[in-house]
Amino acid sequence: MARSLSLPIPLTMAATRIGAGVLTYAQPQLAAKLFGIKSGEKSSAYTARLFGSRDVALGLAVLSRNPAIRRSTLRLGVLVDTCDAVAAVLETRKRGLTPAGSALLIGGAATFAALGVLALREGD
């Protein structure tokens, strides 16, 4: 019997996305520091807030009662997280992230992409 996408994985992903998104939108400089983005890099509060609003939207959509919306959002999340992991690798190569920031952002994005795939499979 197929399990519902209302399992802990999507719920945990939603809560983490919403939390990270709200933090980044409300306090972009603090978020940059916590995520290991080196100061002096060309990362604006505007760009950080774009990330924040995107993550809040993805997190909220995963909480939808509509299974089709949840599945579509999880698919989009896998794409976004894969792109985020690649972006973090590129930024690491340019030495734009601290070692801890590299581990957090590459590992976090790759983990979220994998969890999204797992959540989609569990829903089948």
The pLDDT tens digits for 59-83 are 999 999 999 999 999 999 999 999 9
The residue type of 89 is V
pLDDT-derived band at 43 (thresholds 50, 70, 90) equals: low
Please state the φ and ψ torsions of residue 10, each to the nearest 5 degrees: -60, -35
Residue 1 confidence (pLDDT): 42
Q: Give the pTM.
A: 0.86
CA–chain centroid gap for 68, Å, is 20
Residue 52 confidence (pLDDT): 95
Residue 122 confidence (pLDDT): 85
The pLDDT tens digits for 86-109 are 999 999 999 999 999 999 999 999
CA–chain centroid gap for 13, Å, is 8
For residue 96, the 8-state DSSP code is: -
Contact 92, 106 (CB under 8 A): yes
Task: State the alpha helices, DSSP H only, in the chain.
Answer: 8-26, 28-34, 45-62, 67-93, 99-123
